[in-house]
Amino acid sequence: MTRDHANIASAPTPRPPSTVPHHRPYGDRMQSYTIGQAARLLGVSPDTARRWADAGRVATHRDEGGRRLIDGRDLAAFSVELAKAGGAEEDTSYTSVRNAFPGIVTAIKLGDVAAQVEIQAGPHRLVSLLTREAVEELGLEVGMEATARVKSTNVHIDRA
């Protein structure tokens, strides 16, 4: 599958984040992930992620260099499906180093002041409450990579 991306130079200038409900820090292009990056986010080996792509379980497209990429929104949806199905077929242990969980943003619910952000980190679904301002400043969107850092009973979200 091939995707054409709009010329960013000709894209309209975005409004400030405070007036845009779903601020897109990358303009109109969605972040894409290589097979290796997707594997790391899903907590599986690159070979497993490649087999899933070959089998059509997750859609891919190629960049100018011929690398296979997965659209961030597609990866987010697939990670949720995978978690609901019980995780990956391979027996891998997904561990956290220093309580950091790299993953992909699967849902954002914005309120007037607060926001709820969900991250799928391998087999783990993490939910954090942040200020709306923090979500906008980080430019968080469904499909983008983020790291959840756990300290005591709090989860802090860092943009990758």
pLDDT tens sequence across 66-124: 999 999 999 999 988 888 776 555 444 444 446 778 899 999 999 999 999 999 998 88
Domain 29-159 has what CATH class? mainly beta
d(CA 48, CA 35) in angstroms, rounded, equals 9
* CA 129 to chain CA mean position, Å: 17
Q: How far is CA 8 from CA 5, 68, 124, in A?
A: 8, 22, 35
Cβ-based burial of 138 (10 A; exposed 0-12, middle 13-18, buried ≥19): buried
Q: Taking the CB of residue 133, how many other CB atoms lie within 10 A of it? A: 13
The reported pLDDT for the residue numbered 157 is 81
Domain map of the chain by residue range? 29-159
Longest dimension (CA), the chain: 47
Quick check: pTM over 0.75? Answer: no
Distance from the first to the final alpha carbon of the chain: 27
Please report which confidence band the pLDDT of residue 45 belongs to, taking 50, 70 and 90 as the band edges: confident
Alpha-carbon distance of 8 to 27, in angstroms, equals: 7
pLDDT per position as a tens digit, 3-14:
444 433 444 444
